[in-house]
A and B are shown apart, each in its own frame.
Chain A
Amino acid sequence: MSQFTTVTVPKTDTVAIQLTAPNQVKLSGTITQKDPSNDLAGFFKALHTAALADKLDEVRADVSGLTFVNSSAIRLFVDWATWLKNERGQRYTLLFVTSRNVTWQKTSFMALMSLAKEVLKIEQVS
């Protein structure tokens, strides 16, 4: 049984989160709370752990509908990439699905790629 799909999705005021496939999570809305790690850090960590347990080849994180995030939220994505990069043994590729039309996504994920290109991929959608 997939552990990934059974991860508990946190309820937050401004961001909608869906697990849409055995290897896909979709986030939309905005992340503006001062410390989003309270809601999201544990969730991302649980997804990471589940993906390793499920021996997934790829995890798709669709953030194309996230129109605004604060810098604390960007750190959460950096953390996720870092956990994966530091993983010894079998690991998955983390694919961020981003939007060409959302400015923060272009620069932040390009920068993130330069920090952890061996474990990340970026797909751009309109």
Chain B
Amino acid sequence: MSPFDRNPPRSPPAHAEATRPGQPAPGANDPAPRTKTGPIGGGGNDPAPRTKTGPIGGGGGSGGNSRDGGALVGRSLVRLYCNAGSSALEYTHAFINAYAIDHFRGAVAQRLSVGAYELLSNALNFGSVSSDILLELIEAENIVGVRVSNEAIQARISMLNEHLLKLHTNPEQTFLDELRRSVTGGIPRPMLGLARVAHEAGLTLTLNVQDRRVTVTAQCRR
């Protein structure tokens, strides 16, 4: 398959949450990060744990009250598959950056560029090598975003969840803390990338976990 699969059908991708007309987007009016773990639906017949944490950062640090914090359901402008551990980061980012500059106004392109780089970097570094990483650039009527999904081990998912909760609480302070930790080191290793996405780029982060498949979306108003 070609790594560049542009303009697929306008239906939401498999990992997106469906939104019907007149129905609020999941998480759109939910100011607090939500975490659901355990069986969902089917009266306990679904053993797969799901975690959903949403919206974080963006909107000037107002966290989940951000007006662009709903689930991102729209058209995939770019869909790109790669493998964890590969060297896809630099050339993929160069492509996404050029594409964003060509399609969006400068400030939005810069923000998406940071989001795409850091999300893909995390997926390449921490994703499971046994499954594809999918990066999408998505546009809806008023929102644009970048979404990256990959499989990961449970410990990594828990760490990501905790980090996103910190970012939700205070993106700026978390950014500062991670910057400080990047000097002193420590365990877990500093995670400046997502803090940049939330604080510096002002993108709203949402996390969706199904089984071991992690999907992180970073979005903003276009």
Contacts and interface: CB of A to CB of B under 8 A. Distances in A.
B89 to A, nearest CB: 6
Interface stretch (B38-46, B139-147, B176-184): B176-184
Interface in B74-97: 89-90, 93-94, 97
Interface residues of A, number: 22
Contact of B183 (A68, A71, A78, A101): A78
Interface of B: 89-90, 93-94, 97, 106-107, 110-111, 113-114, 117-118, 121, 175-176, 179-180, 182-183, 190, 192-193, 196, 199-201
A71 B193 contact: yes
Contacts of A104: 110, 114, 196, 200-201
20 contacts: A32-B117, A33-B90, A68-B97, A70-B193, A71-B118, A71-B192, A78-B179, A78-B183, A79-B183, A104-B114, A104-B196, A104-B200, A107-B199, A107-B200, A108-B179, A108-B200, A111-B176, A114-B176, A115-B176, A115-B180
Interface string A73-116: 01100110010000000000000000001111001100110110
Nearest to A76: B182
Nearest to B114: A104
Contact of B89 (A32, A101, A108): A32
B216 to A, nearest CB: 15
A11 interface: no
Nearest to B117: A70
Contact of B111 (A70, A78, A103, A111): A103
Interface string A39-50: 000000000000
A101 B109 CA distance: 12
A79 B179 CA distance: 10
Nearest to A13: B90
A79 B42 CA distance: 53
A67 B101 CA distance: 12
A116 to B, nearest CB: 10
A74 B196 CA distance: 10
A74 B179 contact: yes
Given A70-B117, A115-B180, A75 B110 contact: no
Contacts of A103: 107, 110-111, 114, 200-201
A32 B93 contact: yes
7 smallest beta-carbon distances between A and B, as pairs: A71-B192, A107-B200, A75-B182, A71-B193, A103-B110, A32-B90, A82-B183
B118 to A, nearest CB: 7
Contacts of A78: 179, 182-183
A25 B26 CA distance: 49
A33 B94 CA distance: 11
